Amino acid sequence: MNRIMMNNAMDSLHEALLEMGGLCERGIDEVLAAVVHPDAELAERVIARDDQIDDMERRIESQCLTILARFSPVAIDLRSVTAAMGIISDLERIGDQCADIAEISKHMLGAKQIHPMVDFRLMADTARSMVHDALDAFIDKDIEKARGVTLRDDIVDAAFDRVVLSLTNIMRENAEAVPQAVDMLFVAKYLERIADHATNIGEWSVYLRTGKHPQDKELHEAEIR
């Protein structure tokens, strides 16, 4: 009976993690739309969702503490709860970064776009898929999918480097473009950080299977015990 109750509690925890992740994924999609076509109402919706994500972090943390106190899990169950507490921290930061981008997007209302959005779309789409797959990898205990998440971080990093170089050149050539260019640099940086947090979530999948939380460079070398 205790094992059944423990399994039910873990299932509920996993469902909450996926719900929180879904909010973050929606935030990434919407905040990109708010940057590409500045929309104050959409930006405010993303900012308001950050409060939902914060509430979910507190609720899931409470679930984790209840499981620890009630069932005294060991081995992979204990690692799963520990990993969940790390994951919600990364998801909360993703929510914060989406809200930060939304705030910046309000500065762009009515402004002429100074830079193509191709790499911004690539960064956002890749980061969103990384969040989705990282959570799936954790729930499914799929270390191969976790590896794939980390490898995709290189796509985001390369796009970020291109954006930085391009915007730096724009600022050198056009002083009037500097304020918007700086805003767009911050947007790119926040998207790059979202991908980093997705990578962290993927690494928790490795911890779940191996008992170790690897650095990015070690993820592809992790072995299942």
8 Å CB contact between 155 and 215 = no
At 84 the pLDDT is 97
Q: Which residue type occupies 26? A: R
Question: Per-residue pLDDT for 35 more than 70?
Answer: yes
At 222 the pLDDT is 45
| pTM score of the predicted model | 0.92
How much is the mean pLDDT over the chain?
92
- How many Cβ atoms from other residues are within 10 Å of residue 21's Cβ? 26
CA distance 199 to 147: 9
Burial class (CB in 10 A: 0-12, 13-18, 19+), 176: exposed
**Both structure tokens of 101:** 């981008």
User: Over the stretch 52-91, which tens digit does the pLDDT of each residue have?
Assistant: 999 999 999 999 999 999 999 999 999 999 999 999 999 9
Q: Which of 23-32, 42-51, 132-141, 207-216 has the lowest mean pLDDT?
A: 207-216
Share of the chain above pLDDT 90, in %: 86
Winning range, highest mean pLDDT, from 94-103, 139-148, 207-216: 94-103
User: Over the stretch 188-215, which tens digit does the pLDDT of each residue have?
Assistant: 999 999 999 999 999 998 899 888 776 5
CA distance 186 to 101: 8
CA distance 178 to 15: 44
Q: Which residue type occupies 139? A: I
Indicate the helix (H) or strand (E) that contains 36: helix 2-36
CA distance 50 to 45: 9
Indicate the helix (H) or strand (E) that contains 55: helix 40-71
CA distance 182 to 199: 26
Share of the chain above pLDDT 70, in %: 94
